[in-house]
A and B are shown apart, each in its own frame.
Chain A
Amino acid sequence: MSLRKHLAGAVFAAALAGLGAPAAQAQTPGTQYFPLQSYRVGPYAAGGTGFFGGFIDYMNLINLRDGGVNGVKLSWSECETQYIVEQGVECYERMKNSNPPPSAWNPLSVGIAYAMIPGITADKVPLITIDHGRTDSTDGAVFPYVFPLLMNPYSETSAIVNFIGSKVGGDQNLGSKSIVVLYHGSPYGRETIPIYQLLAQKYGFKLQQIEVPDPGTEQEAQWLEIRRIHPDFVVLRGWGVMNPVALKTAQKTGFPANHIIGNVWSNSEEDAKPAGDAAKGYIALTTQATGTSYPVIQQIESTVYAAGKGDMADKSRIGSVYYNLGVVNGILNVEAVRIAQAKFGDQTLTGDQVRWGFEHLNLSPDRVKALGAAGLFHSIDVTCSDHEGHGLVTFQQWDGTQWHRISDWIAPDWALLRPIIEASANKYAAQNGITPRDCQSQVASN
Chain B
Amino acid sequence: MDWGFFAGVAIAGLLAGVMYSLVAIGFVLIYKTSSVLNFAQGAMVLFAALTFVSLHEEGLPFWVAFAVTLGAMIVLGILIEALVLRPLVNQPPITLFLATLGLSYVIEGAAQLFWGTQVHSLDLGIEDVPLPLNAILISQFDVFCAVVAGVIVAALTILFRYTRTGLAFRAAAEDQYAALNTGLRLPVIWASIWGVAGFVSLVAGLLWGARTGVQFSLSLVVLKSLPVLVLGGFDSILGAIVGGLIIGLTETLAEVYIGPYVGGGIDQWIAYVIALGFLLVRPTGLFGQRSVERV
Contact = CB atoms under 8 A, between A and B. Distances in A.
B212 A221 contact: no
B215 A46 contact: yes
B128 A251 contact: yes
- Taking residues whose C-beta sits less than 8 angstroms from the other chain, chain A's interface range is 35 or more
A247 B81 CA distance: 39
A275 B130 contact: no
B221 A221 contact: no
Contacts of B8: 224, 227
Given A40-B117, A254-B137, A241 B215 contact: yes
A221 B256 contact: yes
Nearest to A225: B256
B220 A221 contact: no
A40 B212 CA distance: 20
A17 interface: no
A220 B212 contact: no
A244 B216 CA distance: 13
B13 A221 contact: yes
A252 B126 CA distance: 12
Given A41-B117, A254-B137, A270-B119, A220 B252 contact: yes
Interface in A191-232: 209-215, 217-218, 220-222, 224-225, 227-228
Interface stretch (B94-102, B148-156, B190-198, B262-270): B262-270
B231 to A, nearest CB: 16
A222 B260 CA distance: 10
A205 to B, nearest CB: 19
Interface string B44-84: 00000000000000000000000000000000000000000
A46 B264 contact: no
B163 interface: no
Contact of B118 (A214, A276, A314): A314
Contacts of B109: 41
A28 interface: no
B211 interface: yes
A252 B129 contact: yes
A42 interface: yes
Interface in A8-26: none
Nearest to B5: A228
A277 B126 CA distance: 12
Interface string A157-187: 0000000000000000000000000000100
B9 interface: yes
B129 A275 contact: no
Contact of B12 (A209, A220, A317): A220
A185 B265 contact: yes
Interface in B1-44: 2, 5, 8-9, 12-13, 15-16, 19
Interface of B: 2, 5, 8-9, 12-13, 15-16, 19, 109, 112, 116-123, 127-130, 137, 139, 141-142, 208, 211-217, 220-221, 224, 251-252, 255-256, 259-260, 263-268
